[in-house]
Amino acid sequence: MYRALYRKYRPQGFDSVVGQNTIVKTLQNSVKNKSFSHAYMFFGPRGVGKTTASKIFARAINCLEPVDGNACGKCKSCVHSFEKECVDIIEIDAASNNGVDEIRELKNKISLVPAELKYKVYIIDEVHMLSIGAFNALLKTLEEPPEHAIFILATTDPQKVPETIISRCQCFSFKRISDDMIVDRLKTVCESENIDFDDEVLSEIAISSDGGMRDALGALDKLTSYTKDKITVDDFAELNGMITKKILHEFCNDIFAGNLANVLAKINKFSGDGKNLIQIMSQLMHFLRNIVVNYYVENSKCEYSVDNMLKLINIINEKMFDIKKSGNPKIYIEMLLIKYIKDISDKKNISQEIITQTSDEKSILGNNSAVENKEDNLVNLVKETDKMAENVEEDDEEYDFDKEFSDDENSYDDVMGNNYNDVLSADDESFSDTDEDSSLKIVKNIDDIMKVRVNNTLANANKQILNKEQENFKLLNDFTFDQEIGYIVCNLLDATVRAASDDSIIISYEYDSSVKQNLLELEKITYVYNKITNSNKKLAIITDEDWGNEKNKYIKSLKDGVQYQVIDEPQEVYEEQVKNDIITNSAVELFGDIVEIN
């Protein structure tokens, strides 16, 4: 009679148990030292070796001459324990024997001495299925069994076992078996059974088995029945309601290209062909995961946006439980992908609009050609260094990094009172930023403009608007990895939103250098923020310290009964644009006071 592979290749000794080295070593040492506990509990996922280890251990403790903690297989006890008719190793299925009567019958028989072996071993599988009454009936016997009795309890759900039972057992947690170990075991089985296979199909079996060796051997057994030819990945996909890698790749192309009609048509075809849509979503998640890992670990090329792939992986992972429990997984998956494709399309459109927006026949993001040629300029700089004079004055222009400013929250609350909490944000958390070189037009009266904007924002400040702007800031997170506007978004996210009105918002940075740099790029930052958040706000950018001073002035005016009034914002006055000489600046930076600037 044909025997299933998982039964045929069930380990007969500890040396054959895969993936549970720590537990095996502990049990072997117990056999060597003859230090047995009266009760054990093995728990862990299905198919990882709990029952198998229980049987091996039961034989080993009854062996008359154990070898390295394993049953010798030759002595009288071993011969008897390997027989099916052995009455001293009793395996009980708690799922079908879960009542009080069965446990009472067990208690009545436990006092009988073993027929052939030294110990009577009771293996109770799926012990969590016992009723509360059965657990209570077992409790006293489990705590003080006869000297010739040993209990081994196995379960996949230890949370359902009463603590009073667990505390009386020596517990071992069986872990999921790694994919590599499962693949190695499957190769051994295939070689023994003369099964022809692709290496890739064994990896797919290991992944789908979720760390369970029994499930992996069962899947291999099913494939050998499906085809007598060489087992391929397509055979595995067809037999398990999945799709081939070629079709999966086409599916991904349609998703990331935003081709919604093709995506829905493919889902409809998968469903019509009897494919398992839940398995396909899991397959999609693992496929994208491999692409992302290879991109970061092996620097391989990536045909899709990494940001979009990460987002889709997270969405599928978060919603997988809901998909499985949904009354109609097909509709749930369709709506999930429709929303995802719409989101990435909207993001792509916003990003493209920002990129194509021009100012003075240039992109809003400016001309970065000088930065791109920075390395070439530095090479030329080194060659020209010998021509420079020996005594120079070092460029004394430095950024003034202010001390970190921290508000006293208690005193702030005392002064402001509850009435003013509707106007100002009490969140004074600050961040730091680094400044970058910029060649944009410089506004000479920018400080005056910022003061007016702060005044006007506070004059019409509103708590509801502030809350809305704080929520709007969260939208920026979707653009942090964007190659074109990511750095602007990151600069914005480094700020803290302080106050907001219908027309403007106040944001602050910890360091004065961050404020100066962002004021140089105020036009870009304002445009990007308004485009992403679909608003039309002016930005007032100040330091945390300045915000503290402005806040105190505002508090004092309110206490004095004086309301802020909106005033006209002055026109921008520009300085003449000075060319950003990377060679000169870099010379000073690299060589200090040996450089003379003429």
pTM: 0.57
Structural domain includes residue 357: no
The number of C-alpha atoms within 13 Å of 524 and in the hemisphere containing its C-beta is 27
Which residues of the chain have a pLDDT value below 50?
A: 358-379, 381-439, 578-579
pLDDT reported for residue 397: 40
Is residue 319 located within the same domain as residue 410? no
Residue 360 lies in a domain: no
Q: Is residue 377 part of a domain?
A: yes
What is the number of domains present in the chain? 4
What are the CA-CA distances from residue 201 to residues 206, 279, 288, 590 (Å)?
Answer: 9, 16, 18, 57
SS (H, E, C) 122-145: EEEECHHHCCHHHHHHHHHHHHCC
**Quick check: is 150 in a domain?**
yes
Locate 87 and state its tokens.
Answer: 């009455």
CB neighbourhood size of 39 (10 A): 21
Classify residue 31: in a domain, yes or no.
yes
State which of 348, 380, 412 marks the end of a domain: 348
DSSP 18: -
Other CB atoms within 10 Å distance of the CB of residue 63: 22
What's the rounded Cα separation, in Å, for the pair 508 and 424?
A: 13
DSSP H helical segments within 368-435, as ranges? 369-372, 374-384, 409-416
Closest CA to 150 of 42, 25, 37: 37
Mark whether 199 and 287 lie in a shared domain.
no
Domain harbouring 185, CATH code = 1.10.8.60
Claim to verify: residue 96 and residue 131 sit in the same structural domain: yes
What range defines the domain where residue 533 resides?
A: 366-598
Do residue 557 and residue 471 come from a single domain? yes
Domain shared by 437 and 469, yes or no: yes
48 and 196 assigned to the same domain: no
Pair (302, 161) in one structural domain: no
Last residue of a domain, one of 124, 147, 173: 173
**Rounded Cα distance, 142 and 152, in Å:** 10
CATH of the domain at 21: 3.40.50.300
55/284 Cα distance (integer angstroms): 39
Phi, psi (deg, nearest 5) at residue 164? -65, -30
Same domain, 316 and 397: no
Q: Are residues 398 and 270 both part of a single domain?
A: no
Give the chain's end-to-end CA distance (angstroms, integer). Answer: 97
60 lies in the same domain as 199: no
Q: Mark whether 51 and 74 lie in a shared domain.
A: yes
Instruction: Name residue, tokens 């600050």.
Output: 430
